[in-house]
């Protein structure tokens, strides 16, 4: 089973949403994946996702409420087969945290989307546009699952 970790800054908006959206879509498609999410910061460790993010996701049928924030740790690099960052700053932070010798693929989430106009998932904690972020996360989730299905 493939293990995938989604990473953003706080682990209360984008990466928990990505985790829940990919979980729902993978379940509907019968794809068996082990999914988790984490933040590069420790700012919200132990917190539930941000309430407006929970509400916007719930309106689309995704349940973020049981998730709790944690920080990325060195052991995650060997514990997952793929690590997916929401933006370039978090991708760079992951490269700095990567233990010597580890070769786990690190990707931007929107890299999976053919012809995507942007390569970063905007942070709705700042933009306040939770629906625009969810639109991109749903697109990237479909593209990621298609890529994984092709890879077998």
- For ligand 4NP, the binding residues (CB under 6 A) are 8-14, 43, 123, 125
- In the complex with ligand 4NP, the residue whose CB is nearer, 8 or 136, is 8
- Catalytic residue flag (residue 131): no
Angle formed by the axes of helices 130-151 and 14-29, to 10°? 50
> Cβ of residue 109: shortest distance to ligand 4NP, in angstroms?
11
Q: Do the Cβ atoms of 139 and 147 come closer than 8 Å? A: no
> Cβ of residue 2: shortest distance to ligand 4NP, in angstroms?
23
> Cβ of residue 121: shortest distance to ligand 4NP, in angstroms?
8
- In the complex with ligand 4NP, the residue whose CB is nearer, 4 or 13, is 13
- Catalytic residue flag (residue 123): yes
- In the complex with ligand 4NP, the residue whose CB is nearer, 14 or 23, is 14
Of 13, 14, 36, 76, the catalytic one is: 14
Q: How far is CA 53 from CA 18, 60, 84, 138, in A?
A: 11, 11, 19, 14
- Catalytic residue flag (residue 8): yes
Cite the active site residues.
Answer: 8, 14, 123
């Amino acid at each position: 089973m493939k293990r995938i970790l989604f990473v953003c800054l706080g682990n209360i908006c984008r990466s928990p949403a990505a985790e829940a959206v990919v979980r729902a879509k993978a379940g509907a498609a019968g794809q068996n994946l082990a999914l988790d999410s984490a933040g590069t910061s420790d700012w919200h460790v132990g917190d539930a996702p941000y309430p407006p993010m929970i509400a916007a996701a719930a309106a689309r049928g995704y349940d973020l409420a049981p998730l709790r924030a944690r920080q990325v740790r060195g052991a995650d690099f060997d514990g997952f087969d793929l690590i997916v960052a929401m933006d370039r700053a978090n991708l760079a932070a992951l490269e700095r945290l990567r233990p010597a010798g580890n070769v786990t693929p690190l990707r931007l989430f929107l890299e999976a989307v053919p012809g995507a106009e942007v390569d970063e998932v905007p942070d709705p904690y700042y933009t306040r546009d939770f629906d625009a972020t969810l639109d991109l996360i749903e697109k990237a989730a479909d593209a990621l699952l298609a890529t994984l299905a092709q890879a077998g």
